[in-house]
């Protein structure tokens, strides 16, 4: 059985103190039994949810970059992700679908999912995250084209403000061969198949 990853960060103590202050400012007693360990739990959660700042997605792709003459579309679809909206620090979550057309090099399939994880584990907006995933793959593998589609629900729209429970936001970005409508259509048809 795998051990739980222990959060070790020089920021942990400062974050705990800030969250203790926030709890007090909200009108709660931070010394109440149920809240005693909350500042530490929240601090550790935030460090986990933002661990992507300390990871290099380009290096992840390079660590499993292989020469291969395959030149058809490679798709990794339905990649679950969770992120934090940078405007309200509330979660948004959904699925990312990523395709690339190799140009002499491929990468390990799990590395595509790891790139999604790295960019989603930062304070984000969905539009930027979509662009960053695309650019990272394009820059690192230099494929004939990359396309990324992200579908997500945003808790900042569900819990506050407009309070729309079932809305889904879809973003996409693409390069190279995906500039051709036929190639984009092939990708969209393939990710819709269940």
Q: Taking the domains of the chain in order of start, what are their residue ranges?
A: 9-49, 57-189
Asked about 28 being catalytic, the answer comes back as no
Mean pLDDT estimate for the chain:
94
Catalytic residue among 40, 156, 158, 186: 156
Looking at domain 9-49, its CATH class is: mainly alpha
pLDDT in tens, 58-68: 999 999 999 99
Asked about 54 being catalytic, the answer comes back as no
CATH code matching the domain that covers 57-189, chosen among 3.30.465.10, 3.40.50.2300, 3.30.70.141, 3.30.1130.10: 3.30.1130.10
Asked about 18 being catalytic, the answer comes back as no
Segments in the chain below pLDDT 50: 1-3
Asked about 136 being catalytic, the answer comes back as no
Task: Report the C-alpha gap between 151 and 107 in whole angstroms.
Answer: 24
The pLDDT value recorded for residue 1 is 37
Non-local (6+) Cβ contacts of 109 within 8 A are 74, 76
Catalytic residue among 13, 28, 87, 180: 87
136 is in an annotated binding site: no
The pLDDT value recorded for residue 2 is 38
The pLDDT value recorded for residue 73 is 97
41-44, long-range: CB within 8 Å, 24+ apart, which pairs? 42/15, 43/11, 43/12, 43/15, 43/16, 43/19, 44/7, 44/12
85 is in an annotated binding site: yes
The pLDDT value recorded for residue 6 is 61
The pLDDT value recorded for residue 163 is 78
The pLDDT value recorded for residue 7 is 65
Identical fold between 9-49 and 57-189:
no
């Amino acid at each position: 059985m795998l051990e739980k990853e222990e959060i070790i960060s020089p920021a942990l103590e400062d974050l705990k103190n800030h969250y203790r202050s926030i709890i007090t400012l909200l009108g709660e007693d931070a010394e109440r039994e149920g809240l005693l360990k909350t500042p530490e739990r929240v601090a550790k959660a935030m460090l986990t949810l933002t661990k992507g700042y300390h990871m290099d997605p380009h290096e992840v792709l390079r660590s499993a970059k292989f020469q291969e003459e395959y030149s058809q579309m490679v798709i990794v679809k339905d990649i679950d992700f969770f992120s934090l909206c940078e405007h309200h620090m509330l979660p948004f979550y959904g699925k990312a679908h990523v395709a690339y057309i190799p140009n002499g090099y491929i990468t390990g399939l799990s590395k595509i999912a790891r790139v999604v994880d790295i960019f989603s584990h930062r304070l984000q907006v969905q539009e930027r995250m979509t662009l960053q995933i695309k650019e990272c793959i394009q820059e690192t593998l230099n494929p004939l084209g990359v396309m990324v589609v992200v579908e997500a629900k945003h808790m900042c729209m569900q819990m506050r403000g407009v309070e729309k429970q079932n809305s889904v936001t879809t973003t996409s970005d693409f390069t190279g061969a995906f500039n051709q409508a036929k190639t984009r259509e092939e990708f969209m048809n393939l990710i819709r198949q269940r």
